[in-house]
Amino acid sequence: MKLKLLAATVIVMALSLHTTEAQIREGVQRHRMREGVRSGELTRSETRNLALRERNTRRDIRMAKRDGVITRRERREIRRDKRMTSRAIYRKKHNRRHRI
């Protein structure tokens, strides 16, 4: 009985940790974008483009959760979208275009 309770607790903790990591990553990316706007490294069109990418990723997550199960393929696509958005933020912040 104690073993089952312990196993259930560990599973719940692992699931909540995974959600927290995803939320932290999104928050960090939003912070990087805000920082780029504040410092002038991102132009308005670059910021708009990055915000659109973020919105599309959130939409993909909602669509994946809609049927109640996020498949391995959906999870891979979402992870790839987040990784590509992160790379896009870096590239746009370092492309020598500055807001004046």
- The pTM score is 0.73
User: What does 24-52 look like in DSSP terms, one character per residue?
Assistant: HHHHHHHHHHHHHHHHT-S-HHHHHHHHH
Could you read off the pLDDT of 1-38 as tens digits, one per residue? 667 666 666 666 665 555 666 678 888 888 999 999 99
Q: What is the average pLDDT score of the chain?
A: 85
